[in-house]
Structure 1
Amino acid sequence: MLPSSTRKPVQEPVVSVSITSLPAWEHYRVGLLPRYQLDNGQIRMEVLALGGIVRKLELKRDDGSWQNLVLGCDSAGDYLSQKACLGSIVGRWANRIANSSCKVDGQTLELDANLYPHHLHGGLAGFHHRVFQLCPIEDGLQLKLTSADGEAGFPGNLDVVVNYRLDGSNWKVEMAAEVDKPCPVNLTQHSYFNFGHALTDYQLECHAPYIVLTDNEGIPVTLERSDKSPLNLSGNARIGDLFEQPLEEIRQVGGLDHCYLWTNDDRQLKPRVTVTAPTTGLKMTLHSDQPGMQIYTGNHLGGTPAYEGRCYKHHQGIALEPGLWPDAPNQPGDTKGILRPGERYQHTSVYQFERI
């Protein structure tokens, strides 16, 4: 068997995907919100037009029952009130832009300072609060959105297309975007995963050569070689053991909230990070063609609305956010994340689930 660092998504026989329209939700702020359920017999997921949110992602157990693997809540109002971007598409810019400002071709952009003084996850007009158009496709669902020139301070009209596809025990996410003015673009899927027990028992494996070290507001300060860092995940690190280390990098953000980085990456789809839950016997490998992977252990989830009228606690889920590194438009190097007219932004991720 290939080691997890080189393993490719499992190629399983194609099984038809059942696509069912569920009763729509409605909210006075955003109107009617269609919902769909996708089911291929191995994976079943519920998708909302609001934010392109994956409300539930369920894996079939050997006994035929279903195990939900993601965090979610019960109403449009709950999703609109929470700030964790549960299950949503995040854009135009996932992660932070320092001081809510960057330059594009010599012009300074002033963006929403929704994490004052910084910009986070698309700002007040972020995609997690927008309504996508949903359209069934052969093996899943296509989501479309147009973001108007000037929203959250971003230039240009941006057209976004996202495909959620099911293939055996794999969930594939394809993102594409085009714009009519030069604009920073960095999209990600922001589901939080919980495999049925405490996050501290999970094991993380990631072979990125670098870690982006930040200040206490999440703005990059320097790169550190992973093999020289106590946050190195190449040895299948247990999350609880990382938390117990007396590290400033852990203390200042309340857990993991760090970008693992492949510099000079060729943008080919590769396994980037593996999450293993030994207690429940489940493993997820996230394959991505992006050079960065933000690993966030839900350090500020406390009080976020949950299913059945409950609230989540800190560290109740882990978000894996493939994309560029934080504040890329302001950082050294050539990768600024600026999409230009005539170019096409493309981003693919595959979530591979295995019982172990």
Structure 2
Amino acid sequence: MKVIQENLGQINNQSVFSYTLKNDDGFEVTAINYGCIITKIMVPDKSGQVENVVLGHDTLKEYIEDSSFLGAVVGRVAGRIKGGSFELDGTTYTLAQNNHPNHLHGGIKGFNKVIWDAELMNDGVRFTYLSKDGEEGYPGNLSVEVIYRLTNDHELLIHYSAQTDQKTLLTVTNHSYFNLSGNLKRDVLNHTLTLKSNQYLELDQGFIPTGHMADVENTPFDFTSERAIKTGAESEHPQNILVGNGYDHPFLLNANHENEIVLQDPESGRALTVETDEPAVIVYSGNSLAPEGAFREVPSRKYLGICLETQALPDAIHHPHFPSIVLDKGQQYATHTKYKFGLIEDKID
């Protein structure tokens, strides 16, 4: 196992480094300490061709200017909070309305837009950050740790942990856009997805959960059997149309650490299995990717990548029947997600 550190540049006289993790078989993941952004994941296809399977850029400037949360850790609260405010113990906290009129992915300068401290490990890198009381409107001094580790089984392991000195809200995730075609040769519409999920959250016009947990049966949201992403893009279901013809929905997981999320690209033969201890995954099929700019010289367009955001349910603070995202003083926040890359014909245990 190798970990290679390189200087990528500076922001306000603070150095930004990239960290490339390589296992013994050549599988590699590159991340930077700005936003804990994953910039590359190099994976072989069925013919052995090693290519990148996430959207990314080559320069720090492009990541600074990025508005798509590309490859980043997002928080304090991943997803939207209705109205950009919430109440805890009788006190109302006002957040940035950066997805007007709502709050999205931690705000204007969330976890994705700050420089984290980094420490090299034998098989990975540990990122730490102190989110101070009042940052982006959230209460409490929050100490956050994110660890990226590689295994020799082509697995990327992400461990999140945190503690606060005051009651606050917390649910974080990684916002990588996957494209298993390799080097963005094609969009993800012909990728297939399988989920262990019987329900998804219905969204309102602002993409905020209404609170209704809808059954997936007999809808384009039924991924209990393998389904192509394009069925959502082509669907006339009001919920698919609402989010820009596709998916941007939370799915409630029936199982954890049991191959509960499987993404495949039949043409390249690549497969990605995601396992987590989170209650949900937000499936976002890149419907809002703008038709301007580029990712390493590949023009940006809709459906160029798909996010699989493992996390708690969005806007949970306003829905008492959702699992709580309140983190108490002295309570330990800890959650794990594993991304295992392989080939479709492989049996993934």
Q: TM-score, normalised by structure 1?
A: 0.90
Contact 1:272 1:293 survives alignment (8 Å): no
The answer for the alignment partner of 2:347 in structure 1 is none
Superposed displacement of residue 31, structure 1: 3.1
CA contact (8 A) 2:146 2:159 kept: yes
* Aligned partner of residue 136 in structure 2, secondary structure: helix
In the alignment, the residues of structure 2 paired with residue 241 and residue 296 of structure 1 have an alpha-carbon distance, to the nearest angstrom, of 14
Q: Which residue of 1 aligns with 2:252?
A: 261
Inter-partner Cα distance in structure 2 for 1:115 and 1:283:
33
Superposed displacement of residue 304, structure 1? 6.2
In 1, are the aligned partners of 2:46 and 2:269 still within 8 Å (CA)? no
Q: How far does residue 171 in structure 1 lie from its aligned partner after superposition?
A: 0.7
Q: Which secondary structure state, in structure 2, belongs to the residue aligned with residue 329 of structure 1?
A: helix
Specify which of 34, 37, 40 is matched with residue 20 of structure 2: 37
* Distance in 2 of aligned mates of 1:272 and 1:281: 19
8 Å CA contact 1:90, 1:121 repeated in 2: yes
Q: Does 1:184 align with 2:172?
A: no
Deviation at 1:318, TM superposition (A): 0.2
Match of 1:194 in 2: 179
In the TM superposition, what are the counterparts of 1:117-128 in structure 2 within 5 Å?
117-128=101-112
1:154 aligns with 2:138: yes
1:53 aligns with 2:37: yes
- Cα 1:245/1:303, change in 2 over 3 Å: closer
Out of 31, 54, 63, the position equivalent to 1:70 is: 54
Percent identical: 29
Where does 1:202-281 land on structure 2 (aligned, <5 Å)?
202-221=191-210, 222-254=212-244, 255-262=246-253, 268-281=256-269
Q: Secondary structure at the match of 1:200?
A: coil
Kept in 1: contact 2:154–2:342 (CA 8 A): yes
Kindly indicate whether residue 98 of structure 2 is the aligned counterpart of residue 110 of structure 1.
no
User: What SS does structure 2 have at the residue aligned with 1:352?
Assistant: strand
Q: What's the counterpart of residue 282 of structure 2?
A: 294
Q: CA deviation at 1:310?
A: 5.0
Structure 1 residues 199 and 65, CA gap change in structure 2 (3 angstroms): closer
Q: Label 1:136 to 1:62 Cα distance change in 2 as closer, same or farther (>3 A).
A: farther
Q: CA offset at residue 161 of structure 1?
A: 0.6
Gap change, CA 1:218 and 1:153, over 3 Å in 2:
same
* Greater mean deviation of Cα atoms: 105-114 or 92-101: 105-114
Separation (CA, whole Å) in 2 of partners of 1:229 and 1:104: 37
User: Counterpart in 2 of 1:143?
Assistant: 127
Give the C-alpha shift of residue 250 in structure 1. Answer: 0.9
Which shifted more, 302-311 or 227-236?
Answer: 302-311
Q: SS where residue 112 of structure 1 aligns?
A: coil
1:91 aligns with 2:71: no
Q: Secondary structure at the match of 1:135?
A: strand
Check the 8 A contact 1:42/1:169 in 2, yes or no. no
- In structure 2, the gaps of 5 or more residues are 345-349
> Aligned partner of 1:217: which letter?
G
Q: Is the 8 A contact 2:35 2:113 kept in 1?
A: yes
Q: 1:140 to 1:115 in 2, by over 3 A?
A: same
1:213 counterpart letter in structure 2: E
The answer to whether the 8 A contact 2:46-2:270 is kept is no
User: Which residue identity is paired with 1:139?
Assistant: D
| 148, 154, 167: which one aligns with 1:164 | 148
Unaligned runs of 5+ in 1: 1-16
* TM score, norm. by length of structure 2: 0.92
Give, as a single letter, the amino acid of the residue that structure 1 aligns with 2:253.
W
SS at match of 1:37: strand
- Residue 78 of structure 1 aligns to a residue whose secondary structure is helix
102-111 vs 169-178, which deviates more? Answer: 102-111
